[in-house]
Structures are given as structure tokens and as C-alpha cells.
Amino acid sequence: MPKAGSRRSRRRFSVEAFVLLPMALAGTVALAEPPLQPYAVVGDSIPRPLTGQPGDPDAGRRIVADRQEGLCLLCHSGPFPEQPLQGDLAPALDGAGERWSSGQLRLRIVDARRVSPGTIMPSYYRTQGLVQVAPAFVGRPILTAEQIEDVVAYLATLRR
């Protein structure tokens, strides 16, 4: 019989691997998710931080690189030498802080459909208008307001 294990150990994660951790967390913490913070869109940007204060770029880097939390590397690549498995469904994140202002980055993460209606990039700060959502994620945005600010702060540091 084949040595399935040897292949498996080299294996890259698969789609379902992304859900296991958040599912487990959802079962234990977060009994009631606070309602979403209101935000104002100006042009193609959300100029003001969702939390009223700037985020932490180091925490943001961790979220972006984390396959269960940010999920960004499912679709994007970026400057993460420690992550050999990255996606190619979307532009590389390198230089994002040069291409976009913090406000523009914020809108692209909060609700990418606003700038690109048919996009596959999920709206990270949205709970309405979704169908067949798994119970663990109902009423919860993909990232919290704090996490989004951390991600924006990190992306703003990405200059070539």
C-alpha cells in the first residue's frame, strides 16, 4: 500500500483547514458579538478608524499571515517568507501602503464590493445579506473593528 503519510506531511493546507480554529474559538468565547461600529464612506475610502484609534501593525501582520484569522494568503501573496504557501487569486499585497491611503485600505477590507462589485474578496466587516452562514459565524464579521485597524496599520507599512 502507498505511504500516504509521507505525502501528507508535505501537504499544504486545504480549504477546510481554515475553519477549524475559528469554529473551535467560536464555541468557547464570544457569546454575544457587539454590534458593528458605524462608519462613513467618503469617495473610495473610510477616512476615520473604526475604533477611533490607530491599530497595531505587528498584530496586523500576524492577522494577515494567519490562515484561520485573516485568510488573506488564501488569495493574496505578500512579504511573508515564513509562509511558503500563498494564493494567486488576487494582486500581491507588496506595496499596498504605497498604492492606497489608510482610508482606501480600510474600505477595501471592510467592504471590497464598494470598489469592485463582483469581487471575490469577502467583506470583512459585514453581517447582513449573507446566506446559509455556518452557525458559529452568524452575526459575526470576519474580523473585529480592532483587528481591521491592526490590518490597516500593517498594510500601510508595505512600501517597496
Partner 1 sequence: MPMPRPSASTTYEKSRTSTRHPLALTIILSTALLALSPAQAANLTDNRRSGYAFMGPPLRAMQDDDMTNPASLWQRDGETLWAEPIGEAGRSCADCHGDAASSMRGVAARYPAFDRTMNRPIDLEQRINHCRTAYQKAGPLAFESHDLLALSTHVARQSRGLPIAIENSKALHPFLAMGRSLFHERQGQLNLSCAQCHDDNAGRSLGGATIPQAHPTGYPLYRLEWQGVGSLQRRLRNCMSGMRAAPYAFGAEAFVDLELYLMWRANGMPMESPAVRP
Q: Which residues bind ligand HEC (CB under 6 A)?
A: 14-15, 64, 70-72, 74-76, 89-91, 93, 96, 99, 105, 108-109, 116, 119-122, 124, 151, 155
Q: Which does 123 bind (CB under 5 to 8 A by kind): ligand HEC, partner 1, none?
A: partner 1
Q: Which of residues 113-152 bind partner 1 (CB under 8 A)?
A: 120, 122-123, 130-137, 140, 142
Contact 46, 40 (CB under 8 A): yes
- C-beta of 63 vs 156, nearer to partner 1: 63
DSSP label at 70?
A: T
CA dihedral 41, 104, 48, 33 (to 10 degrees): 80
Least CB distance from residue 52 to partner 1, whole Å?
26
Q: Which does 21 bind (CB under 5 to 8 A by kind): ligand HEC, partner 1, none?
A: none
| 124 Cβ contact list (under 8 Å, min separation 6) | 109, 110, 111, 141, 142, 143, 148
Cell, residue 152: 490597516
Least CB distance from residue 111 to partner 1, whole Å?
11
Whole-angstrom Cα distance, residue 158 to residue 120?
A: 23
Compute how many residues bind partner 1; rule: CB under 8 A: 38
Closest CA to 151 of 93, 88, 75: 93
- Catalog residues that contact partner 1 under the rule CB under 8 A: 1-2, 4, 7-8, 11-16, 18-19, 22, 67, 71, 73-75, 84-89, 120, 122-123, 130-137, 140, 142
